[in-house]
Each structure stands twice: as C-alpha cells, then as structure tokens.
Structure 1
C-alpha cells in the first residue's frame, strides 16, 4: 500500500529507480490487482454471451430453479442425512454429461461417490454403450477428506480454468462438492478458532469459479436445529448463509400418504424448497422422486407455493 499511495518522487529516490519507471510499475500493478469499474451494459452483454443453463434431469426442479443450474451461480442443496443429496448430485452429473455434453468435476468428501450408480442412471436413460462411455469420461471424481486438500484442489481447478484446460483435456462446466459440511463442521464451535476463517477461504475459492469462469457450482450441506423444535435450517451458520446464490432445502414430501399409489414401493419422494434465490420467490417448491433412474418427476407434479422457509 505504501508503494501505491506514497509520494512517487520519494519512493523513486529510496528505490534508486527513475520516476518514469516507478510510474510504469504502478500502472502494471493497478492493471493486475485493482478493481476496474465495468458498466452495467458491458456486464449484461458478458453474461448473455457466457452464461449457460444446465438442466438437472428433473423438470419440476428445473422450473423452481428458473430453468436449471446457471453457470454463473453457486447453488446449495441442504437436507437431513439420507434426504437424497448424493443421489441428486449423481443424477445432475449424469444429466449434464449426457444431455449438455459438458464436463463435470465431482469432489467427494464423504466417500459416497459411486461409479456403479452413475452407470445405472445412464442405463435407465437408455444410453447406448458409446454414449454412456463418452458421458462417463466427462465426469471426473476427486476424493478429498481434508479442508486444506479441498482448498488446494480448488486452487488447482482455478489454474486449469485460467489456462483453458484440465487434466483430461475436457473443459468442465460444473463442479460438485458433496459435501462442504463434512469438512467444515468439525472445525466450528468449541475451542476451534480457525473455522470461520476457513469458511471465508472456502467461500472465496468456490465463488470465484462461477463469477470469473462461468462454471456452475453445486454443493451439499446438512441441516441443524432451528429456532423451534420442528424447524431445520442449513448448517455452517451465518457466515456461510450469504455464500450460495441459491439455497434449496430438501425435505420429505408431506403430501405423500401411506396409500399413495403415485409413488411405487421402494421409490422415495422428496420436496425441494427454495429458501434463497436471486430470481425466484422464496417458498416455492417442487416434488421429485428418487428411483433407479435417478432424480425424476413424479407423475403430474408442478411447483406449488408453500410457506416461506427461514434461512
């Protein structure tokens, strides 16, 4: 800061360089590190030319997401254990790979990734052997069980995107982290002093991908007790709640009864509720089912209004 804000003539004498050279160095530093204002019109044109919408494979979920997963946003899926978050990640990864024909980086922090499950979903989609092989090649999985390893991997991802290539020579448009809470939760509370700082580092490393490189980021999170006994909210506290552009709570679908014939035995029905969004009203929801085909629409489902959830 002294080099930038200090008196140029005095700095030139102290550094034993000419006044003109010092001004040139300052100009280079400003060009690389300063926040340069951009007009709204230019930003709009950049978004129009660069942003894509990736479908999830579930039409009702795409509708409440205003078309699907945007490549300029970070989306969080939060829910109780066994809510179907990992199943949803597998289903989204397979859909992006086979239908959008885009690369996916799947970061597994829980050991829940299953190549066999991806293969099963693609089989149920009716993919030919060649199409399935090409889709599977577009999905890369990295297992990470330490927050520092995750930060290092995300920095590596950023470097690859800056160079316009990755390890498999496939440019990916989606990064999935399943899940962020499994790495961060043990570092929060008690005598842990680094947890909040690590949340900040992770937030920056994740948000730079959609903001600078137009890569869709999908993360999963668990839930904790809310203000009332029957209320649940996403984990990781206030410092994390501003990080995702869109937050979705995965719940059990209370509309399903014991004798519900629309959902066959062995198929789980869930409800996705928008609790934060830049484009959609909070409180709208969509029902979906988890089956051998992945995450799909139940028969005759449409987004319906529900009471707004508390973040």
Structure 2
C-alpha cells in the first residue's frame, strides 16, 4: 500500500527537509519527477549520472538520498512478540551452508529472515564461504549473488559440487541445475545496489524470479566505503538505507541474506570491521573469519548472534 507521504509533492517536503530545496525540485521536475512516489519507478543510476553533470552534484545526490530515506521509512512494519514468534516458526527456515562444521557451529546454518555478515581481512576466505553456501542452497532454491569485485566463479561453484574428478553425468546435471538457479549481478556502486534491490523486491512481490532463498552481497563494504566520510551526511544515509533495505527483504520475503565486510585498522593497530558503529546494528549475525597462512584451514568466531554468545569459535577447512 502506498502511503500519503509517498504521494506527496516534493515541494511539500521542503520545510521539513532543507535539502529538498527549489534547486533540487527544479532538477527533478526537468526529469519528470514531481513527487516522492515518482522515484519508485525511476532508474536511480541514470538519475545519479544526470545529477553528476550539475555544478551542485553533491547536493543533488544528497537530496536523492533523502528521498530514498523517506521511501524506506514508510515500509517498516510494527510487529508484536507473538507475531514475530509465529512468523519465525512457520516461515523462517535454516539453510545449510554445505560445510558440516559451520552448520553444527551455527545450529544448522544460515537463518532465513536474518542478515548474516562475514567480516575478515583479505584472503580470509570470505568469498569462498559465499560460493560454498551459494552452491549448496542453489540445490533447493534460487540464489541472487551481487558481485562487487568480479569474485563470482562458476568454475569454483562446480568444484564444490563434483563428487568424482572423472566427471560423472550425474555431476554435470547437478552443476547445470545449480548454476541455473544462481542469478549473478555485477554491482560496482551503492546506487546500483539500491536499484537492484528495488528490482529484486518487485520481482519477489510478483513472484517473477522463482523462490529465492538466499541473497549474497560480496562485498557490501566495497560499495559503502567510497561514499562515507567528508562533511556531508548523504553517505551515512545511503549506508543505513541499504542496510535497512536488506533487513526488510530478509524478513518480508523469508530470505537468508549473506554479506561480506573487510577489516580496517583501529586503536593500537588492532583490526576491526569496517563501516563503523552505525553499520554494526544492521546485521543480525556477525561472524569473523581468519585463515592460517598458506593453508585452507579457517577459523570462524561469533561477534554477534541473537541466540549464541560472542567469542565462540570453530575451525573448518574449504577444499
């Protein structure tokens, strides 16, 4: 259902949101955008590209971000405890990762309705875990893989599935089925991410993309880090908008969402997850990965989990 605010003319929001000023309204009007609702059918990548051609491009992009935040704020439903419990029991399942030790550690695997974050330094096998999970979930449902750094590898997916190096006919059929169940998008900036997520939401609503069980973003930090910093707040608003969108998709469409995040230097040179304290509240589950140098032996440690204590760890290997 479309709210009154989504139908509101942009001009009516100027008093409440200074960034939606006459200059921003004039820019929008020149491209056929007169209300908040008009943004729902707009190609965000094209709009941002048009904004970048203006002398006030940064302010225009900040205005676009503000309108997206208004749209997002209208779709955050309220639930009581019984509603959430019933929904969890009836609609939210646990998806096996395909790695027995990880499944045992996480009490079954990844939970639908949750955003799970894998955080770790470079070469800690974050992408390998994503590919392992994608190869396993795609046996029983659809997977959407948002690739931000050319990390998706059909060949690696096939390696996870092959039981006989000689290549049985049954293996080839399984590989074909699994790869056909994985839809991969190349996403190289935050605006494209938001655009793809809006498209995915529409497809899921009208069931035009099959039964998607898993959404992977590898990596979320590579999209968000470039827009953070500086004197403006639009980067932070974009980050929160993207994170909130992922959480709503997970809850409303019973998806397991898996994102990766890199690490940065903190106080005393100690590594910590990127994206700061505001992002910290987005994932339901945060798992830190590390890998022993020169081997495929990895360690997974719980940073945040709604049902398990932090600090617990497990070792596993990915062949």
Query: TM-score range, shorter-chain basis?
Result: 0.7 to 0.9
In the alignment, is residue 112 of structure 1 matched against residue 151 of structure 2? yes
C-alpha distance in 1 between matches for 2:231 and 2:76: 37
Residue 122 of structure 1 contacts residue 132 of structure 1 at CA under 8 Å; is this kept in 2? yes
C-alpha distance in 2 between matches for 1:194 and 1:109: 21
Give how far 1:94 is off: 0.2
The one of 255, 268, 275 equivalent to 2:303 is: 275
* Partner of residue 17, structure 2: none
> Which deviates more, 195-204 or 128-137?
128-137
C-alpha distance in 1 between matches for 2:275 and 2:142: 29
Give how far 1:267 is off: 4.2
C-alpha distance in 1 between matches for 2:237 and 2:290: 30
Residue 125 of structure 2 contacts residue 290 of structure 2 at CA under 8 Å; is this kept in 1? no
Q: Deviations over 1:156-208 (max 9, x none)?
A: 11111111231xxx211100000011111111223454210111110121111
* Partner of residue 171, structure 2: 128
Residue 188 of structure 1 contacts residue 195 of structure 1 at CA under 8 Å; is this kept in 2? yes
TM-score normalised by the chain length of structure 2: 0.71
In the alignment, is residue 72 of structure 1 matched against residue 113 of structure 2? yes
The one of 137, 161, 184 equivalent to 1:96 is: 137
Residue 108 of structure 1 contacts residue 177 of structure 1 at CA under 8 Å; is this kept in 2? yes
Distance 1:35 1:72, change over 3 A: closer
Map 1:194-273 to 2 at 5 A: 194-229=234-269, 231-253=270-292, 267-273=295-301
* Partner of residue 147, structure 1: 190
Distance 1:114 1:224, change over 3 A: same
C-alpha distance in 2 between matches for 1:112 and 1:37: 37
Q: Deviations over 1:121-178 (max 9, x none)?
A: 2124885222221111111101111110110000111111111231xxx211100000
Q: Deviations over 1:52-106 (max 9, x none)?
A: 10011112212232211000100000010111111111110001112xx111000
| Greater helix proportion | 2
The one of 179, 185, 188 equivalent to 2:228 is: 188
Residue 74 of structure 1 contacts residue 218 of structure 1 at CA under 8 Å; is this kept in 2? yes
* Partner of residue 285, structure 1: 313
Q: Structure 1 unaligned runs (5+)? A: 5-32, 257-265, 292-311
C-alpha distance in 2 between matches for 1:290 and 1:35: 38
* Partner of residue 53, structure 2: none
Give how far 1:218 is off: 0.1
Aligned residue pairs total 244
C-alpha distance in 1 between matches for 2:154 and 2:174: 16
Distance 1:276 1:34, change over 3 A: closer
C-alpha distance in 2 between matches for 1:190 and 1:38: 37
Give how far 1:37 is off: 5.8
Q: Structure 2 unaligned runs (5+)? A: 6-73
Give how far 1:36 is off: 7.0
Residue 190 of structure 2 contacts residue 223 of structure 2 at CA under 8 Å; is this kept in 1? yes
* Partner of residue 177, structure 1: 217
TM-score normalised by the chain length of structure 1: 0.73
C-alpha distance in 2 between matches for 1:37 and 1:197: 22
C-alpha distance in 1 between matches for 2:282 and 2:134: 22
C-alpha distance in 1 between matches for 2:85 and 2:182: 31
What is the root-mean-square deviation in Å for CA atoms of aligned residues?
A: 2.2
In the alignment, is residue 62 of structure 1 matched against residue 90 of structure 2? no
